[in-house]
Structure 1
Amino acid sequence: MAYFIESETYIEQTFRRRSVTREALNRLEFEDCIFEQCDFSESIFTHCKFIDCTFKDCNLSLINMQSTRWFGVQFFECKLVGVDWTTADWPPFHLDSELSFERCILNDGSFFGLTLQGLRLVECKCHDMDFREGDFSHSTLIDNDFSHSVFMRTNLQSCDFTGSSNFNIHLLENTLDNAKFSRFEALTLLYSLNIELVD
């Protein structure tokens, strides 16, 4: 069933329990829209725009977002496994895309080389994610599980990692000026220096 019309613009609408899996969605524009319990898994978004939208309890795993723009979008309790965010449209004049993820599953995703200053990740599972060579300065990254995620030549200046765990961040290969960590978890940063810690 076709829920959305190609090249259509949707403003201030709410979409509930829509199942749009493995579909091709072209040149759609959503502004101030709310998506609740929708399933977009494995769909292809091409040249779409999501402006100031909110996703709640949605499945967007394995979506392809070719040249799709995301600005001011919030995700709550969503599943976004295997998403390659590098294929989206990120205008160079918007250093802060105002993306926010809360209690989401973002495993196996990639933010490689992106400039997403002010990114907000709160209580998310971020396993096996690629943050290499990105600029995430001034981001809020609290209470997340970063198991097996990769940081290299990443700008993490003034980021707040309070309550986050299982990160492997090399002190000499990343920018961490004024970053904030919980006291116990901060000790794991020293392992990258190949030093021995004693009581």
Structure 2
Amino acid sequence: MENLINIDVVFDKLAFVNQKLAHREFDGCIFRNCDFAGSDLSNNSFTDCEFRDCNLGMVKFRETGLKTVLFSNCKVIGVRFDEADEFLFHVRFDNSVLDYACFENRKMPKTSFRHCSLREVIFTGADLSGSDFDHCNLEGAIFSETELKACDFTTAYHFSIDPEQNPMKKAKFAVEALPNLLSKYDIKII
């Protein structure tokens, strides 16, 4: 990772814990079994990249470009995606743990979250229109003034969303999830 520009490079089993890396470009790169825990990856650019089986817990992405980046089987705990560069921001998550992450005020329509843990994640003010939460645990996730139009929550679970605070026209929910949308009213559905 010493090169300033990295194109189509595969990084395998890289140990880069609690370190700083800045002003690098990664285009079409794959990171496999890498450990970036606690590292500062601010002011970099990742375009069409994949992180597979990586630990990115508490990584800093301040002003970092994340343009079509896939996180698969990764630990992405406590990451502040709200600090990443907004330009062309597009991420996807498969089988990943994003507990305590923050997407506050982030525009990220049509984002795919598949089989993810999203416990205590902050989505306040985010635009998630058309996003898919396929088999995701949303326990304690915060939705406030969050754009949820046409989102698919049919297989999501443990969420609590206030329809009065979050626009959700045409969003999809399983009938079993009805109590999760009415929890603030403290009513019993039998």
If the length of structure 2 is used for normalisation, what is the TM-score?
0.96
What residue is the counterpart of 1:119 in the other structure? 111
How far has the Cα of 1:33 moved from its partner? 0.6
What residue is the counterpart of 1:138 in the other structure? 130
Q: Using the alignment, how far apart are the partners of 2:187 and 2:167 within structure 1?
A: 20
What residue is the counterpart of 1:192 in the other structure? 184
How far has the Cα of 1:171 moved from its partner? 1.2
What residue is the counterpart of 1:20 in the other structure? 16
What residue is the counterpart of 1:87 in the other structure? 83
Instruction: Report SS of the residue matched to 2:120.
Output: coil
What residue is the counterpart of 1:175 in the other structure? 167
Query: Structure 2 regions of 5+ residues with no counterpart?
Result: none
Q: Using the alignment, how far apart are the partners of 1:101 and 1:155 within structure 2?
A: 19
What residue is the counterpart of 1:5 in the other structure? 2
- Percent of aligned positions that are identical: 28
Instruction: Report SS of the residue matched to 2:106.
Output: coil
How far has the Cα of 1:187 moved from its partner? 3.1
Instruction: Report SS of the residue matched to 2:79.
Output: coil
How far has the Cα of 1:141 moved from its partner? 1.2
- Does residue 159 (structure 1) correspond to residue 151 (structure 2)? The answer is yes
Q: Using the alignment, how far apart are the partners of 2:169 and 2:185 within structure 1?
A: 17
Query: Structure 1 regions of 5+ residues with no counterpart?
Result: none
Q: Using the alignment, how far apart are the partners of 2:58 and 2:146 within structure 1?
A: 24
Instruction: Report SS of the residue matched to 1:52.
Output: strand
Contact 1:51 1:72 in 2 (8 A): yes
Instruction: Report SS of the residue matched to 1:59.
Output: coil
What residue is the counterpart of 2:51 in the other structure? 55
- Does residue 73 (structure 1) correspond to residue 63 (structure 2)? The answer is no
Instruction: Report SS of the residue matched to 2:182.
Output: helix
Number of residue pairs the alignment of both structures matches? 190
If the length of structure 1 is used for normalisation, what is the TM-score?
0.92
Q: Using the alignment, how far apart are the partners of 1:186 and 1:101 within structure 2?
A: 26
Contact 1:171 1:192 in 2 (8 A): no
